[in-house]
Amino acid sequence: MIEAFTGWLLELVLKVIKSIWDLLTDIAIAVTDLVLSALAAVIRAIPAPEFLTQYGIGNLINQFSSDILFFASAFGLNDCFAVLAAGFGFRMVRKIVTLGQW
């Protein structure tokens, strides 16, 4: 009877310790989430520099001469850049999914 009681008491103490550990883990995750959210808000509040916002990619491409635009379409640069972007996107998704192990 004493052995059953001490076994039950030991299980109870272990459950309490595990519950406290889970609580501390949850608190650490919540604090980390708050810190990262605050950091993201601070970064979002930084305005973009003027030299980045005054030009768009369409405006820059429209300023090219007609000769350059002809050769860009003849060489199929838009398809080349699309393939490069798809490859880069696949690589980034692969790294995210495998947690950077590749």
Q: Please state the domain extents for the chain.
A: 1-46
Q: Are 64 and 71 in contact (CB under 8 A)?
A: no
**pLDDT, mean of residues 19-44:** 96
Q: What percent of the residues of the chain are helix, what percent strand, and what percent coil, each to the nearest 5?
A: 85, 0, 15
Write down the pLDDT at residue 102.
64
Across the chain, mean pLDDT equals 90
At a CB cut-off of 8 Å and minimum separation 6, what does 61 contact?
Answer: 69
CA angle 19, 20, 25 (to 5 degrees): 95
pTM, entire model: 0.46
User: Residue 57 and residue 76: Cα distance in Å, rounded?
Assistant: 18
